[in-house]
Each structure stands twice: as structure tokens, then as C-alpha cells.
Structure 1
Amino acid sequence: MAEPWAVSDAITNRLWSFEAMDADLETELHNLGDLNKQFGNGFTSFQGSDTFNISEELQADDTAFFTFPDDHTLEVPSLTLLNAAMRVAQQLNVSDIIWDMTAISPFYQGLHHSDSDSSLSPPSLDSGLSTSRPSPTNSSLQMDPNELPLHLQPTRTQRLIAHHPLLDLLPWPSTRDKMIQVFNLPVHMRPSNAQDPMGLVRFVYDMEDESGEGVLVTGQNPFEPGTWEIGQLLFEKWWWAFDTAVVESSNRSRKNRGKAKLVIRG
């Protein structure tokens, strides 16, 4: 049995320990109260400030802890194509009319009586730039076609057959000729996808395929024909508009990116 004095000392020590715990707890509560007071004062100052923006504060805080690589740009095929097409349209001076579905290309000059000799035979499906003497300058064009890159200079078909200026943007003269001539045929003589009254719109829509299987433009120079290539979706629907050289060039680019060759399914 413990001595009375030993029990008394144990009780005293226990009481001192409780008092110490109470003191520590009181200190912590005091510190917490100070933090709450500071937070409240700060929040009040934020509320009273017209310039405080919680989104900006959070964004600034995030950027202090996270960094993101900025050396790679994600390309969206349809937007890349649109940018390239608009640059070409500006060069051709048709950017103001390409969205008008009733517009006629300023390259079109018609068959003038003064040109009705043997030097101007009717256009054929054979592609290539016109080797005949040039027609009188179209005042609405306000530019010299001879100043354009060779592959964008108007062909005889473009000058003799009325067509929409969207077709002038295509970088392949043979494709421009075929599209213009096919859409100039009676409806029942056209390929099925060109018989639709909105056929040209559908062609443009297929060019803008979001997966990149319409028309893909790579590189920074849209005036270089080699930077344009056709994809599987466009080729499968409009194969008759593209000659062998266009298909082979596109296949070479696709092979370099690990893509399968263009094929006509079914």
C-alpha cells in the first residue's frame, strides 16, 4: 500500500499536467481567434475592393505552382485549311465574295466574239494552263493574273465557264477544271454527288472534315502546292476530280505520317 505522501505527490503532479494542457489549449484557441480575425479583415477588404477578382487570384496562384509547355501548337485541320484558303482568296482578290453563293468568279470573261477563232477551242477535261492568247482584262478583277503563282493562274476553263470563286482557291489546275466543267453539265450527266443542288456546298463541307481526311494543309506557305493534300473522305466521294499526280503527291505525304494510301471503298 502506497504511503499517503506518495499519493499526495501523484495527485499534485496530475493537477499540474491538467493545468499545463489547459494553458496550451487556451494559447491555441487564442491563435485561432487571431487567424479568424485576420481572415475576416482580409475578406472584408476584398469585398470592399472594386479591383479584386477571385478568378485572377486563383489563376495567379496556379501559375506559381504549375507550368505548361508552350513549344507545341495543336493544329485543327479545318481551321488550318480556312486560314490557308483565306490567304489564297486575298491573293486572288476574291475574299469579299467567296461567301456569296450567287457570286461569279471574276476570272470568268465569257467567249467574246473577237475570240471565236481557232486559238480558243472549247475547254476540255485535259488540265493545264491556257496556252491561247489572253482575253481582255476583266475590270472587276483589279489585278494582273500573270502576277499570281503559276498554279493559281486562271486556266482557259476558268475564263470561259462561269463558276463560283470558291473553285478558284483549289491549288490544282486540273481539279479546278474538272469541277467547273462537271458542274456546268446538265444535272443528269453529272456524278451523283454533283447532282445535288447544294453539291458545291457539300464539296466544301467535305474539304473541311474535322478529322483531317478532307483537305489538309501543312507548312506555313499555302501558295506552295505541295503543302496541300487530299484525305480519304474527300477522295472517296470526289475521286473523279483528282488526277493521278494529286493522288500520288497526297499518298507520299500520308506515308510520311504513317497513314494508309487513298482508296475507293465499295
Structure 2
Amino acid sequence: MASPADKLQTPKENEAGQTVPRWGPQHAGARELANLYSPGKRCQEWVSVVLCFSLMAFNLVHLLTNFHFSHFWSILSHFQWSIPLYGLLAGILTADFASGFVHWGADTWGSVDLPIFGKAFIRPFREHHIDPTAITRHDFIETNGDNCMLTIIPLANMAYSFLTLSPAEQYRNYPWHCYVFALAIFVTLTNQIHKWSHTYFGLPLWVQKLQDWHVILPRKHHRVHHVSPHETYFCITTGWLNYPLEKLGFWRNLEELIQGVTGEKPRSDDLKWAHKTN
């Protein structure tokens, strides 16, 4: 018996006897969703990218300026220096979980028909399941604009801290700043990493190595999510948390709880777009 994924990917005939693709850029739902990408959305993405990378550059300069070589000259200082490293690791893990939570929420709930939010932020998730290669045709701005927007407030707050805190306070807050900066970097890069996980030709060798070493989301690992009905492996930054969250039944239990409280069925809007034929 064919799996749900096979059924969605196998061409079928419409009432006129014409072959209709189940997924890809020629899918009726994919075409309609792609056409909903507006100039206003493009402007928001441009502003987000410029602000995000400007703040990131500012904060990086101040992180380097506040780095203390004295950390290397005693055992105590070595221990103190390990704390920022833990902050970096914690930032990466937080980004991976956050990518999964946002991905799960947008995949599972809501509708493209929601005012403003639906077309701006849910639309790309619906398009991606019908046409997984669409993301590989998006330029840098469209790929990364929304993720850049998410990091603007924490990066701005971090920049404000560097401008207003005393050197002693900045020294005490250095591990926290490392955590926030690592989190911001990996949140910003999440959709770029996601794009690379769908790109099978022309990737730089260093990107392929990072995927092979599972430093960032590997291509083979992400394929698990793209088996219909797209109900698992939502974390798309590194993918490190996908296996433990799946073993815990984290997303499934959360969906059952929400459905029990609200009566809403998970992924109903996602399936609606997948079954469009004209």
C-alpha cells in the first residue's frame, strides 16, 4: 500500500484528464502561495536584514573588545573562561529548540487566511511542504529576513548594555552576552541552514563538511520531516534535539493537549493546501 507521502507526490488526473503534479513548483497550491509574496513583505525582510547584521557587527566588536586574556593565566581564570563556552553551547541548543518550536507551531496550527500574520509568516511554511525546493530558489533576503527580524530586539538590548554598563558590569555579564550572541547567530542562520539541507548541488565544501559532521542540519536527517504528514523532526538549526524530543513524544503530546483544549485538528490547513488541484 502506498504511503501518504507517495500519494501526495504521485501525479494524478483532474476532471479534464490532465496530469496534475502532487507537489513542486507546478502544484496549484504552490503557485497560489508563491504569488502571495508581496512588496510589503519584501520591504520588511530588507529592513530586518540590515538592522540585524548592523547590530550583530556592533556587538561582535564589543565582545572582542571586552575579551580578557587574563582568563588564561590561572586555573581559576580557566574555569571562568569555560563559562562563556557553556554559554555558546547553550545558545546553540536554545536556537535549535526555538527553531523546532516555531517550525512546529507554524506547520501545525493557524491558517494562511489569518489577517496579516497568515500571508506574511504562515504562507512560507505551507509553500515549503508542497514545493520543498522553493526555498533553494529564494535569495538571501527572502530566505533570512524573518529570522533576522526575530533577533533585532535581543541584539538591540545587548548593544544598549555595551553602551551603558560599566566595565565591571560588562565583565560579569560576559557569559550572558556570549549566550545571547550565539543564540542570535544561530537563529539568524537557521533558515539559511535549512535552505542548505534542501540543496543537493553546488554547496561549498565547508558547508557539506558541517552537515556531514552534524554541526548544522544534515540533508539526510531533514528528509525525515518531509514525509507526509510532516509531524516530526521540526528542529532545523542543528537538528541535535530532534531524536530526544521524538523519543519523549514532545510534539505529539503537546498537540494532543492543544487539540483536547481547543478542538482544533493539527495540520488541517497544511493538508488543505496540499490537496489543491486548481
Query: Is TM more than 0.5 here?
Result: no
TM-score using structure 2 length: 0.24
Query: Which one has the bigger helix percentage?
Result: 2
TM (normalized to structure 1)?
0.25
